Amino acid sequence: MLQGKTTLQGKQILLVIGGGIAAYKSLDLIRRLRERGGSVRAVLTPAALHFVTPLSIASLSGNRVHEELFSLIDEAEMGHIELSRAADLVVVAPATADLIAKAANGLANDLASTLLLATDKKILMAPAMNLRMWLHPATARNVQRLKADGAAFVGPADGDMACGEYGPGRMSEPLEIVAAIEAALMQDTTVPLPPGVGRPRTVGGSLAGRKVLITSGPTLEPIDPVRYIANRSSGRQGHAIARAAALAGAEVVLVTGPVSIPDPAGVDTRHVETAREMLACVDAALPADIFVSAAAVADWRVDEVGGNKIKKGLAGTPSLSLIENPDILAHVAQLAQGRPGLVVGFAAETEKLLDNARAKLARKRCDLIVANDVGEGTGVMGGLSNTVHLVTLDGVESWPPLDKDEVARRLIEKMAALFGPLASGDQAQ
């Protein structure tokens, strides 16, 4: 169980570990980040493998370690572009003279340097090297250039070096790096592209000119500062719909609870934790032409979350008092003003699938319910495929088992057809 402050709850950090003796401190850095609720994916340079092992890093981070650019497994699971963008912040520790030089000059001949060039997030460097290397004009030039490009630095500190000399070049201590990470994450860490660049090329797509707002993933409801209630949603279906909507030419805002999959390309992705944060974020993102509520929103939250960790044994077994969360789908579907033209909900059921879906369509007043059986043995929750039934007031359309990406693609086409062609001037303002 995690303990202490959860200042990094829900934050994903991509940690690039360079090949220097200070790499041993990165093991402690990972522990400190995880203690604070952060999740860490680590990338090792070939040189780093001489100082720390992938096994120790994977054990501490709880994630597999990435080392090679041209690893087919990595590309099938998560390509290097996605890996570089799934994080909230990229941290290089230790940042060796070599890594700094590569990043400053835009070299991309291994996984670490490629990620530094491909990322859309801020980079924080914690340099570590011999003092002559740090003081060398070439390194000073490279650091200046990286700062001008927007990278942040923590350290190096003065101190005794592994090589016996004294001076600047020691990597900052893990807790100082943590403080710099927390400070960096106080601000928006996405590095914007020039306007009009970066969205998928989709002129004339079926949702061109439309704005689609989508919720995805679970919500996470705190019990106390270290514990929470969550559910098994992976966010795969909601994220796939966001990707498909972007590919169909829509402007897409995705509001997601904590998931371990990357943000979809070309989508404005906003991260939240609780149902109430999700509702506020959805309200802030409206108006939209289409709203798709794919999130597995927790139905209840704990009433009165205290500021301290609930201790064992003091007052027997604690009992939790739960109160109902707002229903985001019903709220959007029943907006008196600014209701999206098409409101789509999901019904994840373990019994009486179609009856429950019809009841939800009526109760929440949405236009379409995508019903799926998530009972034991279906493998839908967290899995890659889905068997869905489209329930509207006109009846039910059942689809065969499909890959979640294919479900998403077909749903988008269905929504585009239901929404109708874009008349000039009628998109969400």
As annotated, the active-site residues are 163
- Does residue number 346 form part of the binding site for ligand CTP (CB under 6 A)? yes
Residue 238 has phi, psi (to 5 degrees) of: -65, -40
Which residue number, 113 or 233, has a Cβ lying nearer to ligand CTP? 233
Q: Tell me which of 301, 360, 409, 414 binds ligand CTP, using CB under 6 A.
A: 360
Paired with 385 in beta bridges are: 403
Stretch that binds ligand CTP, among 4-12, 107-115, 183-191, 341-349 (CB under 6 A): 341-349
- Does residue number 345 form part of the binding site for ligand CTP (CB under 6 A)? yes
- Does residue number 293 form part of the binding site for ligand CTP (CB under 6 A)? yes
Site string for ligand CTP, 262-281 (x = CB under 6 A): -------------x------
DSSP secondary structure string for all residues of 230-291: -----SHHHHHHHHHHHHTT-EEEEEE-S-SSPPPTT-EEEE--SHHHHHHHHHHH---SEE
Which residue number, 90 or 297, has a Cβ lying nearer to ligand CTP? 297
- Does residue number 333 form part of the binding site for ligand CTP (CB under 6 A)? no
- Token code pair at residue 394: 């006109």
| Pairing between β-strand 368-373 and β-strand 268-271 as defined by DSSP bridges | unpaired
Which residue number, 124 or 296, has a Cβ lying nearer to ligand CTP? 296
Q: Tell me which of 57, 115, 180, 328 binds ligand CTP, using CB under 6 A.
A: 328
- Does residue number 291 form part of the binding site for ligand CTP (CB under 6 A)? no
- Does residue number 347 form part of the binding site for ligand CTP (CB under 6 A)? yes
Q: What is the 3-state secondary structure (H, E, C) of 292-346?
A: EECCECCCEEECCCCCCCCCCCCCCCCCCCEEECCCHHHHHHCCCCCCCCEEEEE
Query: How far, in Å, CA of 258 to CA of 271, rounded?
Result: 7
- Does residue number 255 form part of the binding site for ligand CTP (CB under 6 A)? no
Tally of CA atoms within 13 A in the half-sphere of 239 that contains its CB = 22
* 312 Ramachandran zone, left/alpha/beta (phi>0; psi -120 to 50): beta
Per-position b or e across 390-402, b if 16+ CB within 10 A of its CB: bbbeeeeeebeee
- Does residue number 348 form part of the binding site for ligand CTP (CB under 6 A)? yes
Stretch that binds ligand CTP, among 22-30, 40-48, 110-118, 344-352 (CB under 6 A): 344-352
- Does residue number 112 form part of the binding site for ligand CTP (CB under 6 A)? no
* Interface positions with ligand CTP (CB under 6 A): 275, 293, 295, 297, 299, 325, 327-329, 345-348, 360
